[in-house]
Amino acid sequence: MKTQFERMMDGLNDVEAFLAGEQEGFKAHVPQDVDVKAIRNRLGMTQARFSDTFGFSLDAIKHWEGGRRTPEAPARTLLTVIGKNPAAVLTALNPAAFAAAVGSSKPTTVHVKVDRKRPTSRGVTKRKAHSADGVKRITK
């Protein structure tokens, strides 16, 4: 069995070979376990806000945190990036809000709002949309 140092050196050698063009392809490591609750708490978000902000279903968040289900590899990858750099994920998911925030010289907190469909009495679905300037608009 290899020591942790030997495994790290093997990984660094693989990266070096890949960068030198000696090795084709590179496989990223996806962690087997992701502590969803710790990531969410570190961001100071409720389960509902976390699910709305990052596009997970609220039920999935509850099941992951309760230990009844485990996130699949793509979700674990996204959760890992959220845990390390949530601003990168928010920028990718909502570039307009971050572009508006970057225009200011002051540190800015950007609150992301997700469009929610609401049925009307006539069966037509309306969407509540929020622009970067905070003005609500209703569209069909």
Residue 5 lies in a domain: no
Contact 40, 52 (CB under 8 A): no
Q: How confident is the model at residue 114 (pLDDT cuts 50, 70, 90)?
A: very low
Question: Does residue 103 belong to any structural domain of this protein?
Answer: no
Considering only CA atoms, which of 20, 2, 17, 60 is closest in space to residue 36?
60
Q: What is the DSSP letter of 93?
A: H
Two structure tokens written together for 122: 């006539």
The helix (run of H) or strand (run of E) holding residue 128 is strand 125-130
118 DSSP 8-state letter: E
Look up the CATH number of the domain holding residue 36.
1.10.260.40
Q: Could you read off the pLDDT of 32-88 as tens digits, one per residue?
A: 899 999 999 999 999 999 998 899 999 999 999 999 999 999 999 999 999 999 988
Cα-Cα-Cα-Cα dihedral of 104, 113, 44, 72, to 10°?
Answer: -120
Is residue 8 situated within a structural domain? Answer: no
